Structure 1
Amino acid sequence: MADPVSVVGRSEAPPNPLAPSWLHVPDDANALVPGLWSRTTARTEGELVVGGVRAGELAQRFGTPLYVVDEQDARSRAVEVRQAFDRAFAEIGTAAKVYYAGKAFLSIEVARWMDAAGLYIDVCSGGELAVALAAGVDPERLGFHGNNKSLAEIDRAVEVGIGAIIIDSIQEIGRVAEAAARHGVRQSVRLRVNSGVHAHTHAFLATAHEDQKFGIALEHAVEAVAEIRSHASLAFRGLHCHIGSQIFGADGFAESAARLLTLHKQLLAGGEVPELNLGGGFGIAYTAADDPAPIEELARRIAETVAAGCEELDIPTPVIAFEPGRSIIGTAGLTLYTVGTTKDVPVVFEDDGETAIRRYVSVDGGMSDNARPALYEAEYSARIASRVSSAAPALVRVAGKHCESGDIVVNAEYLPGDVEPGDLLAVPATGAYCWPLSSNYNHIGRPPVVAVRDGEARVIVRGETIEDLLARDTGYRGAASAESASKERSHA
């Protein structure tokens, strides 16, 4: 039976001056901060357990680094998100469509979970489309994004009967129209526009600036929609906008919706506009300092804004679509690592000559399995997964094993001061964007992904071995062929 960690002493350690201002010394450096971990994650006899499976068992069976996805958590969040938007928009007399943003993390199993939860799925490449189709998802329940879809990707999407293609540029209109005409279908499309509203996050995440690669400026939208409507092979479904990522409140969505509804009314003069897609970007907690609004609150507030806007403009309320990804799969995942080395690094403050200690805890993964800290300066948390400790908290920086000084997994965290080689370390909230952004930097294979549920664990994405990496190198194949031919000659 899971139990809270309450057997260790409370912290009397003073804050380390190297710690960021938002990071506080915990009373208990073993305790799991609420909101950061999947719903089935707890400690049993001191050991971290997720989905009813002990961390030590997972590490022993599958090795580390290891992506772990709490299947029950992911499935339940998908249903809860859909129900929250269904309820909120039913109350204002319309319907909601919820697309799971596959870019957060997509595998055949995950696509099946989302489909079973009643979600549509958003893909943005031929590969993601292939995964969704392999999962048996009805193509009509798919949307295809991307600022530079290839002709082959467009043709394949139209061929399989995809539900909607999101037009991202003027040039793309003709390409989709031609593919649809060639296949003898009328393809539904949306037009991605930039509302001028953006999330106040890292610049690379704020994807609704006018000066960026996605979408069309609002002032060009009427012209673009007229071009879409001029093609008999295209059916215009409505506008699409995405204001950014890791958004904690509803204000940005409300402002963006208000601007889009004004344009929506203009477009109604030329024909039907049955839908409006407000995108995704709902945030999750990565640290104790993060406080995202509950999805029910976001859905209600956005619905109220849409209802008020439609009433003011005297237009029918369209079907409203959303594209959450991180908020469904992010907290459902964690990554397990094994500690390899620790070292204390003295840091001297130039202003007063005082010295503070930062402890580097190096693990067997890093930026190849979680690129977000290096890309976005993203913050994460960590806990020892294999045991609890009564040692006083110490400020640590969890580093990876790659040949980069910026290879940081967790920039700042307080862990028990006796963290040592061989400890298992768990980093929560890695279900979104970690596996999709993973790489083979330094010729390290991508870790497997394991789903856990009701005490059972199974691999849903196989990890890569050194043999896998070598198999793609034609020099290795040539060497193997040459060796084989040599052996054949020697036996002739």
Structure 2
Amino acid sequence: MTLLDIFPSLRTGMPSRLDPAVWPRDTHYDGDGRITLGGVALADIADQYGTATYVLDEEEVRTRCRAYRRAFPEAEIIYAGKALMIKAIAEWVTQEGLSVDVCSAGELAVALAAGVDPARIVMHGNGKSFDELDAAVRAGVGRIVVDSLTEITLLSALATEPQRVLVRLSPGIDVHGHPAVRTGVLDQKFGFPLGSDAANEAVARILRQPNLRLVGFHCHLGSQIHDPDHYGEAVRRMVAEMAHVRQDHGVILTELDLGGGHAVAYRGGDAEMNIAELADIIEDALDAACARHHFPRPVIALEPGRAIVARAGVTLYRVLSIKHIDGGHTYVTVDGGMGDNSRVALYGARYEVVVANRHPTGPQMTATVAGRYCEAGDILAADIRLPADLRPGEVLAVPCTGAYHHSLASAYNSVGRPPIIAVRGGRCRELIRRETTADLMAREVE
């Protein structure tokens, strides 16, 4: 028996041990020691909707949209839909004044179904098919980011009215980190190397097409970038290239899209992007570059995705078993894993894990949280601290799972993908229902 069992009133005075760097702002322990998000106990959500389940704090998403608009009042903020593209998110971010970028016909369909103004949609992707480009043109999307010479040919055949386009350039900036997220280097699959013959040819071809309007350049440096100086360097290089286009073709490009990739903290102590500092550095670099090249100031666009939705998300799991290996690890197996969070296997991502249905105060153990899928590498978190008296049936919560979890989720082992439950003001509602075995079987052809 603990002191809290003897004096339950002490629970209300318990300090929160939830790191504000990785949890939504409206997260705390209630009087019963349970974690609540948006005024709703996570354990209640687990009971009502089952597990594994994604929980999304609507107010956190909206607050982060507002923070970007405050930091960049003259820039266009474009939500990067690949982080999490569902109708509710598209509605929330556009209500907060953001545009939306999509990179497939499916994401475009979601945005349109959510009522997003097509003029505020940007179409991305390094492998856009004829059908996808056709869908984008027919929908009247505001801009299409050209990623290859082939796309120019296709667009010139599809566009019957002037279509605004951007050319994606690789500025040759290495932000280091995992190879899978370094997209600003010259030798990679996206865009055209800055200053290359291919980039020059892309510009020239677009300018020759009567129904294509080249309005600017686009670049993306990578993901999880916490040093804002990289963006200052990107501004300098991209404005210099815009000046070359003016010199060579007599055309002034008016838009510069710097992409996203702003880092968020997944665990306490992780570095993250300071957007106020980023705004200052971009502003200074833009002033200096435009003055140096006597070039009129372009409209800046930024594409945060992870930075908008990552910290708004929490994933819930129920403990299935606890296994102590003599001379080895303690494995806590849960009812989810790499099917709903593939980032650990793909990128070596690391997460915090806490008990959601009670506030543990006793001894702890070092444990590895393992997934339910039939892969030895299906590990959600290694060597973390959990209560020594953890029991099957308890609910675990993993913070900062709003970005790239639902987007990358699979039906591996024929396990359906989790639902998404939104919370706000003490209420919860289902945004995406759980994928069932019947859903999976419906694709079978007799």
Pair 1:189-2:160 in alignment: no
Name 1:55's counterpart in structure 2. 42
Partner of 1:266: 244
**Structure 1 counterpart of 2:178:** 202
Q: d(CA) in 1 for partners of 2:17 and 2:311? A: 17
Contact 1:67 1:336 survives alignment (8 Å): yes
Alignment of 1:420-431 (within 5 A): 420-431=391-402
Deviation digits for residues 338-390 of structure 1 (CA, Å, limit 9, x no counterpart): 0111122345xxxxxxxxx5321111000000000000111111110000122
**How much has 1:81 moved relative to structure 2?**
1.0
**Aligned partner of residue 179 in structure 2, secondary structure:** coil
From 71, 76, 90, the equivalent of 2:58 is: 71
The reply to whether residue 371 of structure 1 matches residue 327 of structure 2 is no
The equivalent residue for 1:305 is 285
> Within 1, Cα distance between the matches of 2:12 and 2:221?
40
Deviations 1:279-307 (A, max 9, x none): 10001110112021322221222222121
1:244-281 per-residue CA deviation (whole Å, 9 max, x = no partner) reads 00111202111222111111111122212001111100
Residues 242 and 252, structure 2, Cα contact 8 Å, conserved in 1: no
Secondary structure of residue in 2 paired with 1:212: coil
Greater C-alpha Rg:
1
Secondary structure of 2:54 counterpart: strand
Is the CA contact (8 Å cut-off) linking 1:330 and 1:430 kept in structure 2?
Answer: yes
TM-score (norm 1): 0.85
The alpha carbon displacement at 1:401 in A equals 0.3
Indicate whether 1:131 and 2:110 are aligned: yes
| Gap runs ≥5 in structure 2 | 1-9
Is the Cα contact below 8 Å between 2:120 and 2:141 reproduced in 1?
yes
Q: State whether residues 4 and 42 of structure 1, in contact with CA within 8 Å, keep that contact through their aligned partners in structure 2.
A: no
Q: Identity of aligned pairs, percent?
A: 44
CA contact (8 A) 1:64 1:338 kept: yes
Q: How does 1:106-121 map to 2 (within 5 A)?
A: 106-121=85-100
Kindly provide the amino acid, as one letter, of the partner of residue 40 in structure 1. Answer: D
Partner Cα distance (1:413, 1:305) in 2? 42
Partner of 1:44: 30
Candidates 427, 443, 460, aligned match of 2:431: 460
Corresponding residue of 2:415: 444
C-alpha offsets along residues 31-52 of structure 1, whole Å, 9 cap, x if unaligned? Answer: 1112100111111121010011
The structure 2 residue matched to 1:393, chosen from 364, 368, 385, is: 364
Equivalent residue runs for 1:338-353 within 5 Å: 338-347=318-327
- CA shift at 1:6, angstroms? 6.6
Aligned partners of 2:268 and 2:349: how far apart in 1?
14
1:416 aligned onto 2:387: yes
Q: Give, in whole Å, the separation in 2 of the partners of 1:143 and 1:50.
A: 32
Aligned to 2:5: none
Partner-residue secondary structure (3-state), 1:103: helix
SS in 2 for 1:39: coil
Which residue in the other structure is 1:99 paired with? 78
Which runs of structure 2 are paired with 1:289-304 in the superposition (5 Å)? 289-304=269-284
**Corresponding residue to 2:309 among 329, 347, 366:** 329
- Judging changes above 3 Å, is the alpha-carbon distance between structure 1 residues 417 and 159 closer, same or farther for their aligned structure 2 residues? same
Per-residue CA deviation, residues 418-464 of structure 1 (Å, 9 max, x unaligned), is 22211100000000000000000000000000100011111111111
Partner of 1:285: helix, strand, or coil? coil
CA deviation map 1:160-196 (0-9, x unaligned): 111000000111111111110xxx2000000001001
Counterpart residue identity of residue 371, structure 1: S
CA separation of 1:418/1:99 partners in 2, compared to 1, >3 Å: closer, same or farther? same
Structure 1 counterpart SS, 2:337: coil
Q: How does 1:141-290 map to 2 (within 5 A)?
A: 141-180=120-159, 184-218=160-194, 219-220=196-197, 221-269=199-247, 270=249, 271-290=251-270
Q: Deviations over 1:404-426 (max 9, x none)?
A: 01101113322222222111000
Structure 1: runs of 5+ lacking an equivalent: 9-29, 87-94, 348-356, 479-492
CA deviation after TM superposition for structure 1 residue 4, in Å: 9.0
Secondary structure at the counterpart of residue 331 of structure 1: helix
1:31 aligned onto 2:51: no
Contact map agreement 1:139 1:162 (CA 8 A) in 2: yes
Aligned to 1:14: none
Contact conserved, 1:277 with 1:321, CA < 8 A, in 2? yes
Deviates more, 1:299-308 or 1:45-54: 299-308
C-alpha spacing 1:61/1:249, structure 2 compared with 1 (3 Å): same
Asked if 2 retains the 8 angstrom alpha-carbon contact of 1:143 and 1:162, the reply is: yes
Q: Match for residue 7 of structure 2? A: none
C-alpha distance 359-320 of structure 1, shift in aligned 2 (>3 A): same
Counterpart among 472, 475, 486 of residue 443 in structure 2:
472
Superposed CA deviations along residues 299-329 of structure 1, whole A, max 9, x for unmatched, are 2222221212212222111001110000000
- What SS class does the counterpart of residue 329 from structure 2 fall into? strand
Residues 29 and 359 of structure 2 are in contact (CA less than 8 Å); yes or no, is this contact kept in structure 1? no
CA distance in 2, matches of 1:383, 1:295: 28
In structure 2, relative to structure 1, the CA distance for the partners of 1:5 and 1:345 (3 Å cut) is farther
Tell me the SS of whatever aligns to 1:165.
strand
- The C-alpha deviation readout for 1:105-130, integer Å capped at 9, x for no partner, is 01111100011010010000000000
